[in-house]
């Protein structure tokens, strides 16, 4: 049992550098208890991927990551035979092969003899393990991150469902491999498309939203230690107002961190109108967004 | 506690959340692992097991509040003396003559078991579905108020019965308890009324955020399609043709590069194993996957048509980027127009669509009936590979919006995108049902000018 209770889970994650709400701690704890995957949804940059990393750090486990995209298939996710390597070995071992077949009465017999050696060609040596197989074969428990699963195709989702339900795979040439330890699985989604009901049923669901000011300040102070408390407070308050502006790309925690870093290197001690205007490109990726913030800048930097 | 969770699950199902039995069992199994006196933990446990998408979450939040806060005051010690009288009153209500389904649902609701009442409300929303395919059934499109009337009347009866009950028990129940009982039950009746009137956040969910667009076409790109002058229309066509060329180039270039060059090393080697490692046959990468299927549903009432037509032109000009494009227009029923576009170039096809006698251009727009009939006749066009695009303002002349059917379509589709030619500020005014529809879509966008249209098409194709 990796965690003893919700509070211990929260402390572990915090110690691993992840600012953690009671809700996040509860779901992570329950997933560990039940051996179920967590399906994490939420806007870009709120720390979905980071959560999996923090769990791995906190538990001292290896993190195995499978990045999903359109067209991802089993050979990229599970395993693949290394044809080039097999070929190379065949070439080098050509003499041995002719030894094996020398004296064969017929072509058929030669084939039989080669077939008897087939195991040599389809052995672990030539197997290229991709993330899912790596997670299943690992002798120590791991954290498996299946990132942006909403980008994968429905066929792949069905395949994933199979793997996630019994954590075993069958490789025709080698037999069935079953996981020694059920990995702690985190799936993340940006809600590009809905996942199937079957997959959702298999998982615990966690929605991570933009953090509240208090939490975000905690993250900033931890990540950018040199920043003064006052500036961190202003920064986070300003960010909250900018997020309310309905931009094309709402800035996320990553942008807050970049911004904090920029302010630190500019050595400013307070967030003024001028400072915001000169660092806008750090928070806004689009020109219109920057324009919008410029219009509202008075409101953004109005601190008590 | 287990009983309460079963009841909560029943109520949540009645209100339209899909909760599998296994999910209830999972939640129960995990219950001993959380501290149920810590509400953050308790709520997180239920949420993680019962609300499995962003859409369901908002609904879950509301139900949770209703069930564990509004309907659970009786858990507090202060209201203990009231409890037996609530039960008495419940019995009295269900024995009232003439009996009614609504009344007994209300009786249960007052006794903190809301499943039947929520189910009743849910069925009101989707009433008229039975008439799908048939002629417009009475009741299918009556205003919401008419459908709610019997329940409203039952609430009225319950209120009168409560007054009667209190008066009849004046000597039997202590006046303080009577006062608490009155307050308690009147509060619940008010909650029930609010749910019925739809004033509750049960339906008022936050709509999908709408990203703004890239400004590519300056003034021309900003002008709403409906306001273009004839000269601007010509320039619009040119700009669209150019965009189509550019997009085709971008997608086409990739295709060509692959079918011409780029051998697939792995497949070549795999083949070579069979020929003593000599790569006799070069294998090439397969054609890149196309972008799936498209089903477009266009409202062809006046204001929407100016947007819908340009979207159709673009989609068909880019037709070979997709596996298949099927198009439907509707006023009060879906009507497939794919063949016009298959047989002719876009302009001619549009003219034919506009003169198609099968489309009742004069009829009032009816989204609910369109959705019902679409489900009945064309649902098989939608699979997990299909992107469904609805182009419409969501103005349905106060008919039943049938948003549940839209949800069903989304569940079958890969993605559901709604394009609305009206600016967002108008969405929830008058007879617009956009609020109900928006929350069900994977993406909602304003589409009234070239900038917006170009942005949308680019996202679809690239
Ligand atoms: N709760 C948190 N505690 C500490 N750091 C955090 C937290 N949340 C986010 N961060 C930081 O914010 C940045 C963005 O997080 P991350 O990459 O995990 O976001 P994401 O949700 O996976 O985004 P995307 O949807 O774009 O993949 C990272 O640098 C991460 O370290
Ligand atoms: Mg991520």
| Last residue within a domain, chosen from A207, A242, A267 | A207
pLDDT average, residue stretch B202-229: 65
User: Residue B430: is its pLDDT beyond 80?
Assistant: no
Helix, strand, coil % over all residues of chain A, rounded to 5? 55, 15, 30
pLDDT of B207 reads: 40
> Do A41 and A113 reside in the same domain of the chain?
no
pLDDT of B262 reads: 61
Q: How far apart are CA B403 and CA B390, in angstroms?
A: 13
Q: How far is the CA of A47 from the centre of ligand 2 (A)?
A: 7
Q: DSSP string covering A123-189, please?
A: SGGGEEE-HHHHHHH-SS-EEEEEETGGGS-HHHHHHHHHHHHH-EEEETTTEEEE-SS--EEEEEE
Q: Are strands B324-330 and B334-336 parallel, antiparallel or unpaired?
A: antiparallel
Q: Number of structural domains, chain A? A: 3
> Do A105 and A168 reside in the same domain of the chain?
no
How many whole angstroms from its chain centre is CA B393? Answer: 15
Out of A122-136, A169-183, B309-323, B384-398, give the one with best mean pLDDT: B384-398
- As a whole-number percent, the residues of chain B with pLDDT over 70 amount to 84
Task: Kindly state whether residue A304 falls inside one of the protein's structural domains.
Answer: no
- Ligand 1 in contact with A47 (CB < 6 A)? yes
Task: Kindly state whether residue A301 falls inside one of the protein's structural domains.
Answer: no
3-state secondary structure B224-269: CHHHCCHHHHHHHHHHHHHHHHHHHHHHHHHHHHHHHCCECHHHHH
- Do B48 and A30 make contact, defined as CB atoms within 8 angstroms? yes
Task: Kindly state whether residue A179 falls inside one of the protein's structural domains.
Answer: yes
Q: How far apart are CA B152 and CA B409, in angstroms?
A: 31
pLDDT average, residue stretch A61-65: 96
Across chain A, what does the average pLDDT equal?
Answer: 88
pLDDT of B129 reads: 41
Task: Kindly state whether residue A68 falls inside one of the protein's structural domains.
Answer: yes
pLDDT of A99 reads: 77
pLDDT of B266 reads: 73
> Do A280 and A166 reside in the same domain of the chain?
no
The DSSP 8-state label assigned to residue A210 in this structure reads: P
> Do A138 and A284 reside in the same domain of the chain?
no
pLDDT tens, B53-79?
877 888 898 888 888 887 775 545 456
> Do A110 and A140 reside in the same domain of the chain?
no
Task: Kindly state whether residue A1 falls inside one of the protein's structural domains.
Answer: no
Ligand nearest, relative to CA of residue A192: 1
Q: Are strands A168-171 and A79-81 parallel, antiparallel or unpaired?
A: unpaired
Contact A66, A164 (CB under 8 A): no
pLDDT of A258 reads: 93
Comparing A53-57, A259-263, A272-276, B312-316, which segment has the lowest mean pLDDT? B312-316
Cβ neighbours of residue A105 closer than 8 Å, sequence gap 6 or more:
none
> Do A257 and A239 reside in the same domain of the chain?
yes
Better-predicted residue by pLDDT, A25 or B124: A25
pLDDT tens, B164-173?
998 888 888 8
User: Residue B145: is its pLDDT beyond 80?
Assistant: no
Is the minimum CB–CB distance between A84 and chain B shorter than 8 Å? yes
Q: Where in chain B is the domain with CATH 3.40.50.410?
A: 228-250+291-461
Cβ neighbours of residue A125 closer than 8 Å, sequence gap 6 or more:
A85
Q: Which of B42, B35, B86 is nearest to B64 (CA)?
A: B42
> Do A135 and A184 reside in the same domain of the chain?
yes
* Rounded alpha-carbon distances, angstroms, from residue B422 to A169, B304, B393, B444, B458: 52, 8, 6, 12, 21
- Ligand 1 in contact with A10 (CB < 6 A)? no
**Crossing angle for the helix pair B21-30 and B39-50, nearest 10 degrees?**
150
Out of A206-210, B61-65, B196-200, give the one with best mean pLDDT: A206-210
Task: Kindly state whether residue A262 falls inside one of the protein's structural domains.
Answer: yes
> Do A40 and A53 reside in the same domain of the chain?
yes
> Do A34 and A93 reside in the same domain of the chain?
no
pLDDT of B213 reads: 56
Q: How far is the CA of A51 from the centre of ligand 1 (A)?
A: 8
Confidence label for B288 from pLDDT (cuts 50, 70 and 90): low
Is the minimum CB–CB distance between B363 and chain A shorter than 8 Å? no
| Last residue within a domain, chosen from A177, A207, A237 | A207
- Do B41 and A6 make contact, defined as CB atoms within 8 angstroms? yes
pLDDT average, residue stretch B208-227: 70
Task: Kindly state whether residue A303 falls inside one of the protein's structural domains.
Answer: no
pLDDT of B204 reads: 38
Confidence label for B345 from pLDDT (cuts 50, 70 and 90): confident
> Do A158 and A68 reside in the same domain of the chain?
yes
Partners of A64 in beta bridges: A144
Is the minimum CB–CB distance between B270 and chain A shorter than 8 Å? yes
pLDDT of B137 reads: 40
Contact B368, B400 (CB under 8 A): yes
User: Residue A68: is its pLDDT beyond 90?
Assistant: yes
Across chain B, what does the average pLDDT equal?
Answer: 81
User: Residue B138: is its pLDDT beyond 60?
Assistant: no
pLDDT of A115 reads: 75
Q: Which of A152, A150, A183 is nearest to A31 (CA)?
A: A183
Alpha-helix runs per DSSP H in B261-354: 265-273, 302-317, 338-343, 346-354
User: Residue B200: is its pLDDT beyond 60?
Assistant: no
Q: Which domain holds residue A121?
A: 79-126
> Do A261 and A217 reside in the same domain of the chain?
yes
- Do B410 and A207 make contact, defined as CB atoms within 8 angstroms? no
pTM listed for this prediction: 0.71
Task: Kindly state whether residue A300 falls inside one of the protein's structural domains.
Answer: no
pLDDT tens, B365-383?
999 999 999 999 999 999 9
- Do A193 and B214 make contact, defined as CB atoms within 8 angstroms? no
pLDDT average, residue stretch B286-311: 80
Query: Contacts of residue A249 in chain B, CB cutoff 8 Å?
Result: 211
Better-predicted residue by pLDDT, A86 or B315: B315
Q: How far apart are CA A137 and CA A189, in angstroms?
A: 26
- Ligand 1 in contact with A28 (CB < 6 A)? no
Beta-strand runs (E) in B56-177? none
pLDDT average, residue stretch B271-290: 66
Q: For the domain that residue A180 is a member of, what is the CATH number? A: 3.40.50.300
> Do A283 and A268 reside in the same domain of the chain?
yes
Comparing B41-55, B149-163, B190-204, which segment has the lowest mean pLDDT? B190-204
Query: Contacts of residue A22 in chain B, CB cutoff 8 Å?
Result: 38, 40-41, 44
Fold observed for domain B228-250+291-461: Rossmann fold (3.40.50)
- As a whole-number percent, the residues of chain B with pLDDT over 90 amount to 19
- Do B277 and A246 make contact, defined as CB atoms within 8 angstroms? no
User: Residue A7: is its pLDDT beyond 50?
Assistant: yes
pLDDT of B355 reads: 87
């Amino acid at each position: 049992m990796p965690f003893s209770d919700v509070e211990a889970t929260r402390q572990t994650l915090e110690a691993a550098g992840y600012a953690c709400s009671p809700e996040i701690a509860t779901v992570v704890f329950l997933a560990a208890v039940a051996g179920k995957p967590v399906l994490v949804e939420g806007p870009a940059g709120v720390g979905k991927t980071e959560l999996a990393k923090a769990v791995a750090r906190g538990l001292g486990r290896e993190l195995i990551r499978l990045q999903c995209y359109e067209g991802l298939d089993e050979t990229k996710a599970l395993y693949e035979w290394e044809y080039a390597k097999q070929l190379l070995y065949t070439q080098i071992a050509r003499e041995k092969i002719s030894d094996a077949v020398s004296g064969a009465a017929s072509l058929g017999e030669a084939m039989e003899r080669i077939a008897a050696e087939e195991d040599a060609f389809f052995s672990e040596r030539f197997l290229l393990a991709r993330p899912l197989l790596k997670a299943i074969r690992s002798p120590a428990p791991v954290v498996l991150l299946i990132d942006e699963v909403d980008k994968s195709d429905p066929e792949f989702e069905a395949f994933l469902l199979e793997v996630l339900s019994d954590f075993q795979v069958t490789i025709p040439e080698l037999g069935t491999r079953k996981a020694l330890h059920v990995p702690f699985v985190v799936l993340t989604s940006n809600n590009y498309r809905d996942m199937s009901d079957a997959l959702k049923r298999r998982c615990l669901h966690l929605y991570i939203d933009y953090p509240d000011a208090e939490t975000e300040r905690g993250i900033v102070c931890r990540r950018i230690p040199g920043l003064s408390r006052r500036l961190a407070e202003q920064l986070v308050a300003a960010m909250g107002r900018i997020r309310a502006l309905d931009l094309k790309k709402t800035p996320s925690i990553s942008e807050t961190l970049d911004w904090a870093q920029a302010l630190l290197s500019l050595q400013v001690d307070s967030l003024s109108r001028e400072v915001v205007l000169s660092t806008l490109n750090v928070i806004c990726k689009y020109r219109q967004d920057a324009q919008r913030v410029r219009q509202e800048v008075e409101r953004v930097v109005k601190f008590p | 506690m287990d009983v309460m969770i079963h009841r909560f699950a029943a109520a949540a199902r009645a209100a339209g959340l899909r909760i599998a039995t296994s999910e209830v069992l999972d939640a129960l199994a995990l219950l001993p692992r959380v501290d149920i006196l810590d509400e953050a933990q308790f709520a997180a446990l239920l949420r993680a097991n019962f609300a499995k998408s962003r859409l369901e979450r908002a609904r879950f939040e509301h139900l949770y509040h209703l069930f564990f806060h509004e309907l659970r005051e009786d858990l507090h010690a202060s209201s203990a003396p009231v409890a037996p009288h609530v039960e008495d009153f419940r019995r009295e209500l269900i024995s009232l003559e003439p009996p009614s389904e609504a009344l007994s649902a209300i009786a249960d609701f007052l006794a903190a078991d809301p499943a039947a009442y929520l189910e009743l409300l849910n069925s009101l929303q989707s009433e008229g579905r039975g008439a799908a395919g048939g002629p417009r059934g009475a009741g299918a499109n009556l205003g919401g108020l008419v459908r709610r009337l019997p329940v409203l009347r039952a609430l009225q009866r319950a209120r009168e019965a409560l007054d009667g009950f209190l008066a009849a028990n004046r000597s039997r129940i202590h006046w303080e308890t009577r006062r608490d009982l009155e307050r308690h039950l009147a509060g619940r009746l008010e909650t029930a009324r609010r749910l019925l009137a739809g004033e509750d956040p049960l339906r008022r969910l936050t709509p999908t955020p709408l990203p703004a667009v890239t400004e590519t076409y300056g003034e021309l790109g900003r002008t709403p399609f409906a306001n273009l002058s004839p000269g601007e229309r010509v320039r619009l066509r040119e700009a669209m043709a150019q965009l189509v060329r550019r997009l085709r180039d971008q997608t086409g270039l990739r295709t060509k590069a692959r079918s011409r060059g780029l051998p697939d090393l792995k497949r070549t080697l795999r083949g070579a194993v069979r020929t003593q490692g000599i790569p006799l046959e070069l294998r090439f990468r397969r054609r890149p996957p196309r972008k799936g299927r498209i089903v477009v549903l266009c409202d062809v009432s006046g204001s929407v048509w100016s947007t819908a037509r340009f979207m159709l032109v673009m989609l068909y000009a880019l037709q070979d980027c997709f596996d298949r494009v099927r198009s439907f227009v509707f006023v009060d029923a879906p009507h497939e127009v794919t063949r016009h576009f298959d047989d002719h170039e876009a302009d001619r096809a549009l003219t034919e669509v506009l003169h198609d006698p099968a489309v009742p251009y004069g009829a009032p727009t009816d989204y609910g009936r369109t959705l019902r009939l679409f489900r009945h006749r064309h649902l098989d066009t939608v699979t997990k590979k299909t992107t469904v695009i609805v182009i419409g303002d969501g103005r349905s002349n106060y008919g039943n919006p049938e948003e549940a059917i839209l949800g069903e379509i989304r569940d079958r589709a890969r993605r559901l995108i709604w394009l609305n030619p009206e600016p967002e500020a108008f969405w929830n005014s008058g007879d617009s049902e956009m609020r109900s529809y928006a929350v069900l879509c994977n993406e909602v966008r304003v589409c009234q000018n070239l900038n917006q249209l170009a942005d949308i098409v680019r996202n679809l194709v690239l």
